[in-house]
């Protein structure tokens, strides 16, 4: 029996086990220690927002350099804050993809080094699986379930027919929700990141400027927000050409209502079609109040249980990576040390292996 196999057998059957996780897919450097896949002992996040704000968005090369500067300190502090000694770490998990390749590489190299030094398994983890399984850190996940993933780079409807099984039934054809928010915010001259500013104004606005909804084909669960973005720009240009004052709160509310109506409408339709028992909301844009409120109301009306992580677990963080990696840990599905960062990593291909028990 190898050292890794012995740790797995002992950790699951005997004492509690601890996963050390690393997340560096974009512009947050994060490390966490999670016990038994659910108990977050530490979860440190170093954000680069102030650095990238002057450029109006994330600059990949700068993001990579900042990760290099922060990763050692963040790892040391996460371990110290957890109260767990290094010899008690049973596996190292890391975001393998998707994400910015230079940023991913920093975390991958750090994780490989730790796994080798500690003689523990390495678990390359899918970033979106992390967002989805952040929900497991706050409650029980029931299958089949439907995950509405909304983040800066992803907008997807993911069907989970069983634990660790991912099937994408709808995805964006152009901008993700977070990208659309940032582009509209930039047009309205809000600082980066602009999404929270749009959300706040939308909540405060007394009226809304009506904007189109992109429902696409009747049987499609895909999303498209490029037309909505163009409609916002057209409203801004129209007011400018006529010399009128632009009602920015009303435009923000109109934009948000259009986005929220489409993503929640498609999510609820998919939930009915696939007969799911639970809805999951995940990703950075899950912090949006308008989206959270609307989906909560629709799920309550439909009698469909809904899980939404707290705000600190919606944005990129390492605890969510540990939660997803736990799927692989419990099944002994480890990653070779020669793994590479994969900026186009497939969520469906990352699914855990189906066992005889899961088919029953």
The strand pairing partners of 47, in sequence order, are: 28
Helix 248-274 to helix 177-187 angle (10° resolution) is 170
Q: Which of 308, 323, 347 lies at the terminal end of a domain, its last residue?
A: 308
Return the pLDDT at 15: 82
Domain identity same for 217 and 288: yes
Domain identity same for 262 and 329: no
Return the pLDDT at 3: 43
Domain identity same for 123 and 182: no
Return the pLDDT at 97: 96
The CA–CA distances, whole Å, from 87 to 72, 83, 119 equal 18, 12, 10
φ and ψ at 126, to 5 degrees?
-80, 130
3 state SS for the chain: CCHHHHHHHHHHHCCCCEEEEEECCCCEEEEEEEECCCEEEEEEEEECHHHHHCCCCCCHHHHHHHHHHHHHHHHHHHHHHHCCCHHHCCEEEEEEECCCHHHHHHHHHHHHHHHHHHCCCEEEEEHHHHHHHHHHHCCCCCCCEEEEEECCCCEEEEEECCCCCCEEEEEECCCCHHHHHHHHHHHCCCCCCCHHHHHHHHHHCCCCCCCCCCCCCCCCCCECCHHHHHHHHHHHHHHHHHCCCCCHHHHHHHHHHHHHHHHHHHHHHHHHHHCCCEEEEECHHHHCHHHHHHHHHHHHHHCCCEECCCHHHHCCCHHHHHHHHHHHHCCCCCCCCCCCCCCCCCHHHHCCCCCHHHHC
- Angle (nearest 5°) at CA 172 between 166 and 174: 145
Return the pLDDT at 49: 77
Domain identity same for 96 and 213: no
Domain identity same for 21 and 91: yes
Domain identity same for 151 and 291: yes
Return the pLDDT at 153: 82
Max CA separation in the chain (angstroms): 77
Domain identity same for 279 and 351: no
Domain identity same for 159 and 272: yes
User: In the chain, how many domains are there?
Assistant: 2
* pLDDT tens-place string over residues 176-194: 898 899 899 999 989 888 8
The CA–CA distances, whole Å, from 303 to 266, 277, 297 equal 17, 9, 10
Domain identity same for 240 and 321: no
122 token code pair: 């390495």
Domain identity same for 148 and 231: yes
Which residues constitute the domain of residue 161?
A: 142-308
Q: Whole-angstrom Cα distance, residue 159 to residue 138?
A: 20
Tens place of pLDDT per residue across the chain (360 aa): 344 444 444 454 568 999 999 999 998 999 999 999 999 999 999 988 778 887 777 888 898 999 999 999 999 999 999 999 999 999 999 999 999 999 999 999 999 999 999 999 999 999 999 999 999 999 999 999 999 999 878 899 999 999 999 999 999 999 889 889 989 999 998 988 888 899 999 999 999 999 999 999 999 999 999 999 999 999 999 999 999 999 999 999 999 999 999 999 999 999 999 999 999 999 988 989 999 999 999 999 999 999 999 989 999 999 999 999 999 999 999 999 999 999 999 999 999 987 644 444
Q: Whole-angstrom Cα distance, residue 305 to residue 32?
A: 28
φ and ψ at 38, to 5 degrees?
-135, -25
pTM of the model: 0.92
Return the pLDDT at 13: 52
Domain identity same for 253 and 278: yes
Domain identity same for 262 and 208: yes
CATH number at residue 13: 3.30.420.40
């Amino acid at each position: 029996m190898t050292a890794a196999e012995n740790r797995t057998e002992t950790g699951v059957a005997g004492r509690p086990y601890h996963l050390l996780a690393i997340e560096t897919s974009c512009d947050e450097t994060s490390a966490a220690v999670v016990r038994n896949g659910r108990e977050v002992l530490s979860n440190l996040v170093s954000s680069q927002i102030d650095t990238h704000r002057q450029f109006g968005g994330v600059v990949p090369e700068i993001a990579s350099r900042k990760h290099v500067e922060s990763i050692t300190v963040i790892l040391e502090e996460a371990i110290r804050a957890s109260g767990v000694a290094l010899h008690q770490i049973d596996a190292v998990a890391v975001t393998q993809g998707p994400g910015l390749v230079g940023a991913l590489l920093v975390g991958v190299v750090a994780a490989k080094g730790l796994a080798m030094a500690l003689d523990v398994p390495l678990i390359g983890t899918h970033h979106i699986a992390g967002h989805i399984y952040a929900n497991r850190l706050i409650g029980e996940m029931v299958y089949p379930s439907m995950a509405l993933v909304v983040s800066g780079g992803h907008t997807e409807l993911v069907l989970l027919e069983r634990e660790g099984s991912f099937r994408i039934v709808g995805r964006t054809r152009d901008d993700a929700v977070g990208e659309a928010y940032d582009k509209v915010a930039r047009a309205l001259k809000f600082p980066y990141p602009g999404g929270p500013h749009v959300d706040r104004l939308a909540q405060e606005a007394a009226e809304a400027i009506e904007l189109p909804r992109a429902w696409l084909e009747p049987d499609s669960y895909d999303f498209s927000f490029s037309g909505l973005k163009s409609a916002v720009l057209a409203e801004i240009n129209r007011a400018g050409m006529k010399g009128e004052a632009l009602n920015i709160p009303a435009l923000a509310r109109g934009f948000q209502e259009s986005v929220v109506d489409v993503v929640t409408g498609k999510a609820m339709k998919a939930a009915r079609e696939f007969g799911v028992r639970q809805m999951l909301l995940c990703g950075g844009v899950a912090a949006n109040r308008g989206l959270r409120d609307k989906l909560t109301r629709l799920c309550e009306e439909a009698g469909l249980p809904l899980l939404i992580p707290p705000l600190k677990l919606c944005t990129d963080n390492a605890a969510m990576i540990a939660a997803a990696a736990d799927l692989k840990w419990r099944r002994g599905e480890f990653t070779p040390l020669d793994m590479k960062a994969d900026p186009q990593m497939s969520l469906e291909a990352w699914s855990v292996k189906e066992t005889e028990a899961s088919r029953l």
